[in-house]
Amino acid sequence: MPTALITGITGQDGLYLSELLLSKGYEVHGIVRGQNNPKRELVRRTVPDVHLHTGDLTDLSSLIRAMATAQPDEVYNLGAVSFVAYSWENARVTTDVTGNGVLNVLEAVRLYCGDDLSRVRYYQASSSEMFGKVQEVPQRESTLLWPRSPYGVAKVFGHYMTINYRESYGMHASSGILFNHESPRRGPEFVTRKVSMAVARIAEGRQDKIVMGNLDAQRDWGFAGDYVEGMWRMLQQPEADDYVLATGETHSIRDLLDVAFAHVGIEDWSGLVEQDPRFMRPAEVDLLVGDASKARDRLGWSPTVGFEDLVRMMVEHDLALLRAER
C-alpha cells in the first residue's frame, strides 16, 4: 500500500485528491495548521480514513515530524495562502506561506530521504497566476513567467525552487501549472463560488444583487476533480517534469454570470449585478488560457467536465444547500 502526505488537505484540491488516492488503495496523511482549525472536522467528515497531523508550512520542524510519522512515498504540496486578492493586503504572510513554505516542504523531504532521494516523489502546486501579464497565448510550460500579484510572485519562487531541487539534488519533483479549477467545494471568497452562491440566493429570494469587480477578465476554468487526477499521474512518471493542466478554453466573468443565471431561469442579469472598484485588482491578469498538450500526450490526461456543466454543478449544489435549510 503506497502512502501519501498532503499539505493543504482542507482545501478543495486536498479533499478531492484524498478521495482519489484512497480509491486507489493509498494510505493518506494530511497536515492541518493549528490544533483548533475549524476545517479539521470537515476533513474528518469528508474523508474519515485520512490520518491528520498538526503542522505549518512556515515551521520546518513540524514538517519534518509529519514526514517521520507518515513515512510517505509521495508528497503533494497543495498548501498556500491561495486567495489572490488577499495577497495585496498581506504580501509578507503570502510570501512566507506560499513561497518559503515550498522551500520548507522540499527541505523536509530532502532531510527525510537522506542518501536515497528516490524514496519520495514530490508534487508542487504551481499556478497559472505565474503567467500574469501573459507573453503568449495560449500559455504553456515554456512561456515566460510575469506574475502580477504577490501571490503569483510567491508561486514563481516555489516553482523555480522545485525545479532547482530536481536539478540540484536529483529529487523526483514535479510541478503542475494548474489553470483555474473550481468545484462546489471552492471557498466562498473565490469568484466562481461567490457567483454560484449569490445566484442561488437570488433565485430563492434571499438576496437582491451581486457586487462584482472586473467582468471582462478571462480565465480557463476546469473542474478540480479532473485536475487532481493529473497531479497523481505526474508522480507516476519515471522522470519528474512540469506540466500545464488546463481546458484550452477561455471564458469571461460575464460568461460565468450568463450560465449561472440562465440555470435559474434568469436571462437578463444586468439589473442584478453591480460593479465596485473595491473588487478590482491593482494589477489585473486579463487573459489566461492554457495549452495542456504535453499533459495530454505524456500523461494521457484531459478534462472531462466542461465550463457550462461546471457552473451548473456549482449553482445546483448551492441551491440544494439553501433548500435543505428550509
Catalytic residue ranges: 127, 129, 151
Per-residue HEC secondary structure of the chain comes to: CCEEEEECCCCHHHHHHHHHHHHCCCEEEEEECCCCCCHHHHHHHHCCCCEEEECCCCCHHHHHHHHHHHCCCEEEECCCCCCHHHHHHCHHHHHHHHHHHHHHHHHHHHHHHCCCHHHCEEEEEEEHHHCCCCCCCCECCCCCCCCCCHHHHHHHHHHHHHHHHHHHHCCEEEEEEECCEECCCCCCCCHHHHHHHHHHHHHCCCCCCEEECCCCCEECCEEHHHHHHHHHHHHCCCCCCEEEECCCCCEEHHHHHHHHHHHCCCCCCHHHEEECHHHCCCCCCCECCECCHHHHHHHCCCCCCCHHHHHHHHHHHHHHHHHHCC
